[in-house]
């Protein structure tokens, strides 16, 4: 409340670092904010999707067993361009053409003016089924394979006193954004406009151009108010937007498609399940001499973003530790389930779960406590990572580790809990901010500032998905320009109005897009020569400034060798979790998580804390309850009654501490925060269970798994 009251008074003062009022706050609390499901256009049709009920096979025939009057019907034959969902590879069809590769694959699209009529639709499909690939370890199809190598692994193991091995598994995870996927496609002028709940307007734009065989200027993508994304609206909206656009172009009428929860869970992407094997050489006093990691990701039926998920997963696989001899090898393979895709953390939660449980096991074998074994190996300024990236002078994992141990009085508390049903666990972790490797260079993101009568208008396609992008970017602009925050206008992301500032993913928006805006604002400020925007407008009318991304000097990346600066910078964090275990039922109750994070300069303390808390809560679900049960390639528990995310009552107290070490190339020193908290919660909780004697090596640590681990312990 204090923060909110203060926000009202914030005008011409510098606003970075202050909890200003959210740009989207008032509309959201008053109900004025409009989501896709709120939109109703003249002549609107509602669309629906007929999907495969088998996980692999050929389509023998399709019969429409209902009165089709008034329906628009689209099949693969109606696609004007390429039948492909354009992302990394061109392997995924927009609509199945002859064969299906997973349950839920779209075969036919239908639209009708009366939503209720869609319930009467009866379509019979005859298949010639084929044997599906279910186990990733048995998959004959590798989508992508990557190796990171440093030093001489043989030498490293030779230097070791001890080799510790282990296998760790993580399951699917459902995004469960509060708003399901939804788009509205509006035909007109020989082209299409798509409004959608989405993270990456230009991804959708590109996919539509290819699918519909339309030139860029005939396709417009506009983000509507979006109720959460978590990566689930990075890739999937390209599928859904294509479907709605096909129906809209065929019918000549606006078409809305909004999934209900069951359809969203059954048909859209999930977090990649992983199997990670560690073989680690270590000296008796606890120094790592060799790290050998093997990662296998389950990609599902199509490539989507799997290669980059694998890449990020491998780059985070060692955890934030130094070691001279490293080999990380990984593959992502095809199975016949709905494709897995982007999800907060993007491969890193899987591999760091393995790294951090493994680190506790190393400590146990050496008789070192969890803090000691980590302190000995934590990356410090000047150290190099697996790719050779050197840790900055104000970087590294040590500081957050020590701060977390100090704040939680880790050792004392652990001693105090000994013999009780409460356990304490720690996880030390990091997260690379921005696109991997030369990704940002390839993106060539642009951001525009345009003078208005009153202030400035920001032209970016960064999306507000609840995380606060609109607010943070406006804070950066207001501060750099020295104008009131209220005078910075943040229109919705619209490909026809703003340049491509890159996708809203990879914890890059504040750091990268914010930095572009900071530079644009400083430039604009020089051009104002001491005048206010209003004065300048009156004198000269509109001015606009566009900035394009250029990499900070000295950053190098070799994509072939996987050597160099994998990320411009890294955020660092340490979680300490205290849990209570019911040894009879196996039910784990997380009591408190302390999260100490270095995300660089904090632009908006309330929202940054919100990101940490939300991500940690999502990690609690990942750790304990969120289990996707796949049966014959179909999610068998696609409902909120048996896919369990933490409710408020299940979420522990979360204590967030920021260690602000500014990053010189981020907006006002900011790094990323969105994904970081997803990486640490699960290993911290599982390590707390270890301290209670439960040797859990897979998440979610369901009561069954915990009881099993206890019985073996």
In whole angstroms, give the CA distance from residue 401 to residue 375: 7
In terms of CB distance, is 14 or 44 closer to a second copy?
44
Alpha helices in 222-343 (DSSP H): 236-251, 261-267, 306-315
Q: Give 199's Cβ-side CA count (13 Å radius).
A: 26
Q: If you search the block for the tokens 């923060």, which residue do you land on?
A: 3
Closest distance of CB 194 from a second copy, Å? 11
Both structure tokens of 247: 């129906």
Spell out the residues 6+ positions from residue 370 whose beta carbon is closer than 8 angstroms to its own: 359, 360, 363, 410, 425, 426, 687
Q: Which of 492, 503, 600, 614 binds a second copy (CB under 8 A)?
A: 492
Closest distance of CB 36 from a second copy, Å? 9
In terms of CB distance, is 229 or 370 closer to a second copy?
229
Closest distance of CB 110 from a second copy, Å? 15
In whole angstroms, give the CA distance from residue 144 to residue 47: 35
Closest distance of CB 332 from a second copy, Å? 36
| Nearest alpha carbon to residue 579 among 485, 674, 435, 688 | 688
Q: What is the DSSP letter of 123?
A: E
Q: Which of 486, 518, 598, 679 binds a second copy (CB under 8 A)?
A: 486
DSSP for 582-645, please give it.
-TTT--EEEEEEEEEEE-BS-S-HHHHHHHHHHHHHHHHHHHHT----EETTEETT-STTTS--
In terms of CB distance, is 32 or 178 closer to a second copy?
32
Closest distance of CB 449 from a second copy, Å? 18
Stretch that binds a second copy, among 28-36, 423-431, 434-442, 444-452 (CB under 8 A): 28-36
Q: How far is CA 256 from the centre of its chain?
A: 26
Closest distance of CB 243 from a second copy, Å? 19
Stretch that binds a second copy, among 25-33, 243-251, 476-484, 660-668 (CB under 8 A): 25-33
In terms of CB distance, is 70 or 367 closer to a second copy?
70
Q: Buried b vs exposed e over 537-548: b needs ≥16 C-beta within 10 Å? A: beeeeeeebebe
Residue 26 binds a second copy, judged by CB under 8 A = yes
Q: What is the DSSP letter of 105?
A: -
Q: Give 665's Cβ-side CA count (13 Å radius).
A: 16
DSSP for 646-671, please give it.
--GGGSPEEEEEE-----TTSGGGB-
In terms of CB distance, is 455 or 514 closer to a second copy?
455
Q: If you search the block for the tokens 């590798």, which residue do you land on?
A: 142
Closest distance of CB 6 from a second copy, Å? 18
Closest distance of CB 181 from a second copy, Å? 16
In terms of CB distance, is 88 or 113 closer to a second copy?
113
Closest distance of CB 38 from a second copy, Å? 5
In whole angstroms, give the CA distance from residue 22 to residue 12: 17
In whole angstroms, give the CA distance from residue 573 to residue 679: 9
In terms of CB distance, is 28 or 284 closer to a second copy?
28
Stretch that binds a second copy, among 27-35, 318-326, 589-597, 676-684 (CB under 8 A): 27-35
- Residue 311 φ/ψ, nearest 5 degrees: -55, -50
Let me know: does 427 contact 318? Beta carbons within 8 Å: no
Instruction: Convert residues 82-121 into a mask of x (bound to a second copy by CB under 8 A) and - (unbound).
Output: -------------------------------xxxxx----
In terms of CB distance, is 35 or 127 closer to a second copy?
35
Instruction: Convert residues 57-76 into a mask of x (bound to a second copy by CB under 8 A) and - (unbound).
Output: ------------x-------
- Beta strands per DSSP E along 86-231: 99-100, 106-112, 123-129, 142-150, 162-170, 182-188, 191-196, 219-223
Q: Which of 4, 11, 13, 27 binds a second copy (CB under 8 A)?
A: 27
Stretch that binds a second copy, among 30-38, 75-83, 95-103, 204-212 (CB under 8 A): 30-38
In terms of CB distance, is 118 or 123 closer to a second copy?
118
- Binders in 40-59 for a second copy, by CB under 8 A: 40-44
Instruction: Convert residues 155-184 into a mask of x (bound to a second copy by CB under 8 A) and - (unbound).
Output: -----------------------------x
Q: Which of 14, 21, 25, 39 binds a second copy (CB under 8 A)?
A: 39
In terms of CB distance, is 494 or 655 closer to a second copy?
494
In terms of CB distance, is 92 or 463 closer to a second copy?
463
Let me know: does 217 contact 189? Beta carbons within 8 Å: no
DSSP for 394-412, please give it.
T-SSHHHHHHHHHHHTHHH
Q: What is the DSSP letter of 137?
A: G
Residue 34 binds a second copy, judged by CB under 8 A = yes
Closest distance of CB 489 from a second copy, Å? 11
Closest distance of CB 32 from a second copy, Å? 4
Strand, helix or coil at 524? helix
Closest distance of CB 203 from a second copy, Å? 19
Q: If you search the block for the tokens 């760091």, which residue do you land on?
A: 352
Q: What is the DSSP letter of 259?
A: -
First and final C-alpha spacing in the chain: 48
- Binders in 175-234 for a second copy, by CB under 8 A: 184, 189, 195, 222, 224
Q: How many positions of this chain bind a second copy (CB under 8 A)?
A: 25
Residue 30 binds a second copy, judged by CB under 8 A = yes
Stretch that binds a second copy, among 22-30, 627-635, 636-644, 659-667 (CB under 8 A): 22-30
| Nearest alpha carbon to residue 312 among 280, 337, 342 | 342
In terms of CB distance, is 491 or 605 closer to a second copy?
491
Both structure tokens of 196: 């959608």
Let me know: does 710 contact 693? Beta carbons within 8 Å: yes
In terms of CB distance, is 121 or 699 closer to a second copy?
121
Binding residues (CB under 8 A) for a second copy: these are 26-27, 30, 32, 34, 38-44, 69, 113-117, 184, 189, 195, 222, 224, 486, 492
């Amino acid at each position: 409340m204090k923060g909110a009251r203060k926000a009202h008074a914030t005008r011409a003062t510098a606003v970075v670092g202050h909890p200003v009022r959210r740009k989207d706050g008032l509309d959201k609390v008053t109900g004025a904010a409009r989501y896709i499901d709120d939109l109703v256009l003249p002549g609107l049709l509602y669309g629906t999707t007929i999907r495969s009920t088998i996980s692999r096979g050929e389509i023998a025939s399709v019969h429409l067993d209902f009165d089709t009057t008034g329906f628009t019907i689209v099949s693969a034959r109606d696609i004007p361009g390429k039948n492909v969902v354009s992302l990394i590879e061109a392997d995924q069809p927009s609509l199945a053409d002859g064969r299906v590769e997973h349950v839920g694959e779209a075969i036919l699209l239908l639209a009708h003016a009366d939503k209720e009529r869609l319930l009467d639709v009866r379509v019979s499909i005859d298949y010639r089924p084929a044997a599906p690939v279910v186990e990733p370890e048995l998959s004959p199809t590798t989508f992508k394979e990557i190796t990171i190598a440093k030093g001489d692994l043989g030498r490293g193991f030779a230097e070791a006193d001890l080799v510790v091995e282990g296998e760790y598994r993580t399951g699917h995870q459902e995004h469960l954004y509060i708003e399901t996927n939804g788009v509205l496609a509006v035909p007109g002028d020989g082209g299409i406009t798509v409004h959608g709940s989405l993270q990456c307007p230009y991804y959708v734009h590109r996919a539509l151009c290819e699918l519909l065989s339309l030139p860029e200027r005939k396709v417009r993508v506009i983000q509507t108010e979006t109720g959460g994304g978590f990566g689930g609206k990075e890739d999937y909206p390209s599928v859904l937007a294509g479907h709605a656009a096909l129906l809209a172009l065929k019918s000549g009428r606006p078409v809305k498609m909004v999934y209900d929860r069951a359809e969203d869970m059954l048909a859209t992407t999930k977090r990649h399940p992983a199997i990670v094997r560690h073989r680690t050489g270590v000296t008796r006093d606890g120094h790592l001499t060799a790290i050998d990691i093997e990662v296998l990701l389950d990609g599902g039926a199509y490539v989507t973003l799997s290669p980059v998920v694998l890449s990020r997963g491998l780059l985070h696989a060692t955890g934030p530790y130094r070691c001279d001899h490293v080999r990380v090898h990984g593959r992502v393979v095809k199975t016949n389930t709905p494709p897995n895709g982007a999800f907060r953390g993007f491969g890193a939660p899987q591999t760091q779960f393995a790294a951090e449980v493994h680190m506790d096991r190393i400590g146990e074998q050496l008789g070192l406590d969890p803090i000691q074994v980590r302190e000995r190996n934590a990356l410090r300024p000047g150290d190099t990572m697996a790719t050779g990236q050197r840790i900055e002078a104000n970087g590294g994992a040590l500081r957050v580790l020590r701060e977390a141990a100090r704040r939680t009085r880790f050792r004392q508390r652990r001693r105090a809990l000994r013999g009780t049903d409460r356990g304490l666990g720690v996880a030390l972790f990091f997260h690379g901010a921005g696109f991997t490797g030369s990704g940002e260079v390839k993106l060539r993101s642009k951001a525009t500032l345009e003078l208005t009568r009153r202030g400035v208008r920001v032209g970016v396609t960064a999306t507000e998905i609840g995380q606060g992008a609109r607010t943070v970017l406006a804070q950066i602009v207001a501060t750099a320009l020295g104008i009131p925050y209220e005078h910075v206008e943040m229109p919705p992301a619209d490909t026809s109005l703003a340049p491509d500032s890159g996708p809203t993913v990879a914890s890059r928006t504040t750091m990268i897009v914010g930095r572009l805006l900071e530079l644009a604002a400083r430039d604009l400020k020089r051009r104002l020569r001491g005048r206010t925007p209003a004065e300048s407008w009156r004198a000269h009318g509109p001015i606009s400034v566009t900035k394009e991304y250029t990499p900070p000097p000295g950053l190098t990346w070799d994509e072939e060798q996987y050597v160099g600066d994998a990320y411009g910078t890294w955020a660092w964090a340490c979680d300490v979790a205290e849990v209570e275990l019911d040894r009879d039922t196996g039910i784990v109750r997380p009591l408190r998580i302390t999260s100490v994070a270095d995300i660089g300069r904090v632009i908006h303390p309330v929202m940054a804390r919100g990101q940490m808390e939300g991500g940690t809560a999502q990690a609690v679900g990942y750790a304990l309850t969120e289990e996707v049960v796949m049966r014959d390639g179909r999610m068998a528990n696609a409902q909120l009654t048996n896919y369990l995310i933490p409710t408020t009552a299940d979420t522990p107290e979360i204590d967030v501490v920021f260690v602000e070490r500014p990053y010189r190339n981020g907006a006002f020193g900011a790094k990323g925060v969105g994904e970081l908290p997803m990486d640490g919660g699960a290993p911290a909780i599982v390590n707390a269970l270890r301290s209670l004697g439960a040797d859990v090596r897979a998440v979610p640590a369901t009561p069954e798994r915990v009881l099993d681990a206890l019985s073996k312990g």
